A and B are shown apart, each in its own frame.
Chain A
Amino acid sequence: MSIDAKSIDLKDRFGDFFYRNLERLRDGLPEYINNKREGAIQNFQKYGIPNKKVEAYKYTDLKPAFEKEYRTYIEPKKIDFDLNDIFRCDVPELDTHVVLLLNGWFYETKTPQKKLPNGLIITSLREAANRYPDIVEKHYNRYADSETESLTALNTAFAQDGVFIYVPKGKTMDKPVQIINLLMDEEDGMSQHRNLFVMEEETHAQVIVCDHTLSQKNFLTNSVTEVYAGQNARMDFVRIQNEHNGSTQLSNFYLNQERDSRVTANTISLHGGLIRNNYNLRLNGENCENNTLGLYLTDRGQHIDSYVHMDHAYPHCRSNQLFKGVLDDYATGAFNGRILVRQDAQKTEAYQANNNILLTDDARMNSKPQLEIYADDVKCSHGGTSGQLNEEAMFYLRSRGIPLKEAQLLLMYAFAHEIIGQIHIKPLQDRIHELIEKRLRGELSRCNYCQMHCGDAGKN
């Protein structure tokens, strides 16, 4: 069942594995999903795992992660204890619809999901694909690029499950949906789940995603999330990445926004071995607003790479990218933000900034803005800084009796606040503030437990 790491070439390895297991991959899913698989694996094989010669992957070497041997989850893993006991949320004021993905598979909790009123749906992609084919088929693989993006193609070839959220026209999700991605096994594992969130016209929803590793094994995740935000939809998206150093997380986020819609996506990367976050954002109607924010805190040998492609296709849209990072020890990072303003997209406002604090001489950050502007009446800017903490501010704090270490913390905390302050779910904002503080104090380095403290996995 596992992919043999020693075999010839990575892309052939995945190809062989794909054809050997094709029947099982197809099992239980409708044709409109299955008929995309073979084309996708061929596209993947055409490009292979992106190597450092690919411009967009210049600073991130995926090969070592892919060369490891993983158990691939083409069927759900039976887990012999009750996850319901583990995940009690300890952000008491944070009242959410919780769903779990265990190694990429939707986990049916013992307490059945309360049926949502008004035609709202939160369920597994598997179930949705069969029960709501009209909705799923209309959007599935419409925004994701399985043609030229080899990691996305790989996901499309293998995807079997994930989370599906649907908000029908004019409706509001009464409380945030919280998706908890758990990786837990006695063997190294690879997950390729696929999420689809469809927000029709005039809707409102908040989605929180938490990524966690619960056992000390190597994990590789290559996920795709497609989001459709219809006319005048409002969506807040918060993601907390907190996996251990043996994890590789490749996340491919595709967002399509229709006119007058407003989406804020906030990714907080507290911990992870290697993280690559791809954001493909298309503003596909007039007067859209998009805020894509990221905060990453890395130390030791961790690596994080954020890649943003902001596509302004229509006039009068506003986009704002802000990515901030604190890099300690010999951690490395990359930021590549591309803003494309198409010829018709007049009156575009597009901003981008990437600011980094390097705590040591060995920490490194590569930041690269790319503006491609074909319209003439636009306001665009980009800027980046990488450096130490402000010396003057440090002296001011210390001159009041605050020790060096504490002064550094205060300033890093303030640096992070610009991002955290924009999380619109207040109890979550407070909790993340706490987590950030702990993380900066170095109290979160053992992170094989769920740091949202939704419960205590250590008891098991």
Chain B
Amino acid sequence: MLTIKNLHASIEGNEILKGINLEVQKGEIHAIMGPNGSGKSTLASVLAGRNLFEVTEGEILYNGKNLMEMAPEERAREGIFLGFQYPVEIPGVSMMNFLKTAINEQRKHRGQEEMKSSDFLKMMREKKDLVEIDSNLTNRSVNEGFSGGEKKRNEIFQMAMLDPKLSILDETDSGLDIDALKIVAHGVNQLKSPDNATIVITHYQRLLNYIIPDKVHVLYDGKIVKSGGKQLALELEDKGYEWLSKEAAK
């Protein structure tokens, strides 16, 4: 589904991603771990199409298509979803209007008709229950005045509404208490299917108690220095990230 080959990306002349290789198949859950500043969010942003970062080398194929040639909105319509580490507050744009526009744009792309208002509201109710998001939040402006946890839940709620094929969740677990974490994990597990894939970016191992990854990768200084099964996450938890500097030096 997703193939990343020797990906290099930089911002303002600083190279942040220094040759990433990654292969994600349908139905898989991948976890990417790594210390702060290692480039996890940069990778996520590049996959979603943020042009703040310049890709200097390498390629990204998504279902056989060259992702680099696609605008962010095209990627979204092809099923890519980014759960932001820091969701943006957009005062004056209502959640309703935002979601309706997003869903209808995606439907238009698939040659479907606009969703009927009643169907849209029904779907909202179902998905809201799934992530146990407060009803009032969807009556407000996008993320405006939301607490940290509410913003994260709102990301999962949007993911549920948009039903993506490849979800990239950037530290959706950070700042959440255990109950909220379980809800987010439940949401992700519910949405899992043999046709879609998820990349969970996390700093801590604890989310992986609830979302069982097929593969774990460790990103360090812009490179994937280690890949393995779910036990790699535990190993990291034990030995800490300092252990990696030695691995990276090898």
Q: Which residues of A come within 8 Å of B, CB atoms?
A: 390-393, 395-404, 406-407, 410-411, 413-418
- The answer to whether A401 touches B105 (Cβ under 8 A) is yes
Q: How far is the CA of A391 from the CA of B52 in the complex (A)?
A: 9
The distance from the CB of A254 to the nearest CB of chain B, in whole angstroms, is: 32
Contact across chains for A410 and B93 when beta carbons are under 8 A apart: yes
Knowing A395-B50, A410-B101, the reply to whether A400 touches B92 (Cβ < 8 A) is no
With A and B bound together, what is the CA distance between A400 and B161 in angstroms?
Answer: 11
Chain A proximity mask over B65-109: 1 for CB below 8 Å, otherwise 0? 000000111011100011010011011110001100110011001
Interface pair B73/A404, CB less than 8 Å apart: yes
Name the contact of A400 in the complex, choosing from B71, B91, B162 (C-beta under 8 A).
Answer: B162
From B77, B84, B92, B101, A396 is in contact (CB under 8 Å) with B84
List, sorted by A's number, 20 A–B pairs whose CB atoms are closer than 8 Å.
A390-B88, A391-B52, A392-B88, A393-B90, A395-B50, A396-B90, A399-B48, A399-B50, A399-B76, A399-B82, A401-B76, A401-B105, A403-B105, A406-B105, A407-B73, A410-B97, A411-B93, A416-B92, A417-B92, A418-B92
On whether the beta carbons of A398 and B93 are closer than 8 Å, the reply is no
B71–A404 touching, CB < 8 Å? yes
Give the contacting residue for B73; candidates A402, A415, A417; CB below 8 A: A402
State A195–B88 Cα separation when bound (angstroms).
Answer: 47
Q: A393-B88, A410-B98, A414-B92 are in contact. List 20 more A-B contacts (CB 8 A).
A: A395-B50, A395-B52, A396-B84, A396-B87, A396-B142, A397-B90, A397-B102, A399-B73, A399-B75, A399-B84, A400-B76, A400-B98, A401-B77, A402-B98, A402-B101, A406-B101, A410-B101, A411-B90, A414-B90, A414-B91
Q: Which of A396, A397, A407, A413 has the most CB of B within 10 A?
A: A396
* Interface SS of chain A: helix
**Closest residue to A420 on the B side, CB-wise?**
B92
Judging by beta carbons under 8 Å apart, are B93 and A414 in contact? yes
Task: Indicate if B198 sits at the interface (CB-CB under 8 A).
Answer: no
In the complex, are the beta carbons of A413 and B92 less than 8 A apart?
yes
Residues of A within 8 A of B52 (CB): 391, 395
The complex places the Cα of A392 from the Cα of B50 at a distance, in Å, of 9
| Residues on B with beta carbons closer than 8 Å to the beta carbon of A393 | 88, 90
Most chain A C-beta atoms within 10 Å of own C-beta, residue among B50, B71, B109: B50
Bound state CA distance, A297 and B116, in angstroms?
32
**Chain B nearest CB: distance from A27 CB in Å?**
52
Query: How distant is B40 from chain A, measured CB to nearest CB, in Å?
Result: 17
A394 to chain B, nearest CB (A): 9
B-side residues, CB < 8 A to A, are 48-50, 52, 71-73, 75-77, 81-82, 84, 87-88, 90-93, 97-98, 101-102, 105-106, 109, 141-142, 158, 162
Q: Tell me, in angstroms, the Cα distance from A276 to B85 when the chains sit together.
A: 46
Beta-carbon nearest neighbor of A406 in chain B: B101
Find B92's partner among A395, A402, A404, A415 (CB 8 Å cutoff). A415
What distance in Å separates the Cβ of B195 from its nearest Cβ neighbour in chain A?
18
Q: Please, how many angstroms separate the alpha-carbon atoms of A396 and B72 in the complex?
A: 9
**Shortest Cβ distance from B171 into chain A, in angstroms?**
16
Chain A residues near B92 (CB, 8 Å)? Answer: 413-418
Residues in B with CB closer than 8 Å to A411 are 90, 93
Question: Which residues of chain B are within 8 angstroms of A400 by Cβ–Cβ distance?
Answer: 73, 76, 98, 102, 158, 162
Instruction: Note all chain B residues with C-beta closer than 8 A to A418.
Output: 91-92
CA separation between A399 and B51, bound complex, in Å? 12
Residues of B within 8 A of A415 (CB): 92
The CA-CA distance from A424 to B4 in the complex, in Å, is 54
List residues of chain A with CB within 8 A of the CB of B141: 414
Kindly state the separation between the CA atoms of A413 and B94 in the bound complex, as whole angstroms.
11
Asked if B98 and A401 sit within 8 Å, CB to CB, the answer is no
Give the Cβ gap from A230 to chain B, nearest Cβ, in Å: 36
Measured between alpha carbons, how far is A401 from B87 in the docked complex, in Å? 16
Looking at the assembled complex, report how far the CB atom of A407 sits from the nearest CB atom of chain B, in whole angstroms: 8
Taking the closest CB of chain A, its distance from the CB of B141, in whole angstroms, is: 8
A391-B52, A414-B91, A415-B92 in contact; A401/B97 too (CB < 8 A)? Answer: no
3 closest A-B pairs by beta carbon, nearest first, are A414-B92, A401-B76, A400-B102
Closest Cβ of chain B to A414, distance in Å, is 3
- Which chain A residues border B97 with CB–CB below 8 Å? 410
Contacts A395-B72, A410-B97, A410-B101; A401 near B106 (Cβ below 8 A):
yes
Contact call A401/B93, Cβ cutoff below 8 A:
no
**Beta-carbon contact of B93 and A413 below 8 Å:** yes
**Which of A397, A404, A417 is the one whose CB lies under 8 Å from B98?**
A397
Bound form: Cα–Cα A415–B101 in Å: 18
Inter-chain contacts of A396 with B (CB < 8 A): 84, 87-88, 90, 142
How distant is the Cα of A125 from the Cα of B73 in the complex, in angstroms?
57
Measured CB to CB, the nearest residue on chain A to B91 is A414
Q: List the A residue with the shortest CB-CB distance to B87.
A: A396
Q: Which residue of B lies closest to A405 (CB)?
A: B73
Closest to A403 in B: B73
Question: Contact: A401 with B109, CB < 8 Å?
Answer: yes
**Closest chain A CB from B144 CB (angstroms):** 10
Min CB distance A401 to B, Å, is 4
A407, B75: Cα distance in complex, Å:
15
For A412, the closest partner residue in chain B by CB is B92
- The CA of A401 and the CA of B98, in the complex, are separated in Å by 10
Q: B1 to nearest A CB, angstroms?
A: 18
Q: A391-B52, A396-B84, A410-B97 are in contact. Are A401 and B102 (CB under 8 A)?
A: yes
